[in-house]
Structure 1
Amino acid sequence: MVRAGLLVGARTLGAADTLIGAWGLGDGEAWGMSPFGGSTRASVWDRIDPRLFLHDCGRLSRVQAAFRTAFHLPRVDSIAVGTDEPTHLGELVGALTGQVEERAVQEYRRLLRDRSCDQSA
C-alpha cells in the first residue's frame, strides 16, 4: 500500500512506481491510500479542479475526479479510504465510471519531476 493521488510528491510517486515495477506487482496487487491527503474538506480541493484529468470533465464532482485520478498516481488497482459516511463511499464508487485523460496525468507527472529537479538544485 502506497500513498496515491494528486497530493503525492514527486519522490514518493517515483519510489512507488519503482517498487511496483521491481516487485512485478500485477492486477489487484498494488493498493493506494489517502487519495485526499487526509480530508476532502481541505482547502486545496476548493482551489484546484481535478476534473481536468478526466475526458468528460463536467460529469463528476471535484472529489470524484480527485479519487478517480488517484488510481494513476501511482498506477494502483485499489484505493483504501476511511469514512463513516455511506454517502461519501457511494460518491467514490460513482467516480469509477470516469475516464482518466492519460496525457494529462503524464504531463502532471512531468511537471512534478521538473519541479523536484529544480528544488534539489
Structure 2
Amino acid sequence: LAAAEALDLDSPVAGSAYFLSQGEPVNCWQWIDELLALASLPPVRRSISLATAKRIGAVLELTHAVLRSSGEPRMTRFLAAQLGTSHYFNIERSRRDFGYVPSISTEEGMRRLGMELAADRS
C-alpha cells in the first residue's frame, strides 16, 4: 500500500520500476533444495553444465516448433539461463523512495510455507 500511495500520478517516482522482495540474495539451487525438503522430496542429486542445458533447451524448442506442440517445452534456453544463475534484486530504491520494508524474511516465508505444506499432507 505504501508503494501504491507513493506512485500516485503526481508523485516524483510515478512511472519508475521497483523491485519488492525480502532484499536477501538467494542461491538458486540451495533454495530449490530447501523447497524440495519442505515438500518431503530429496534434494537435487545430479546436474549438467549450463552450456549443455542451453543446448537441450534449443533442441526442445526446435522440436516443439516443428511439431507445432501447444504450450512451452519442458526446457528452454531461457529457463536454462534462469536456473543457471543466482538472483538478487536490489530493493534499495524501494526503501529510499517510499520507505519499503520487507514484512517477512525469506527464512520466515520458508517456515510458513513448510507449515502449509505439512497441513496439506495431513
Which has the bigger relative contact order, CA under 8 A and spacing at least 6? 2
Does TM-score exceed 0.5, indicating one fold? no
Alignment TM class, shorter chain as reference:
under 0.3
Select the structure of larger CA radius of gyration: 2
Normalising by structure 1, report the TM-score: 0.25
Bigger proportion of residues as strand: 1
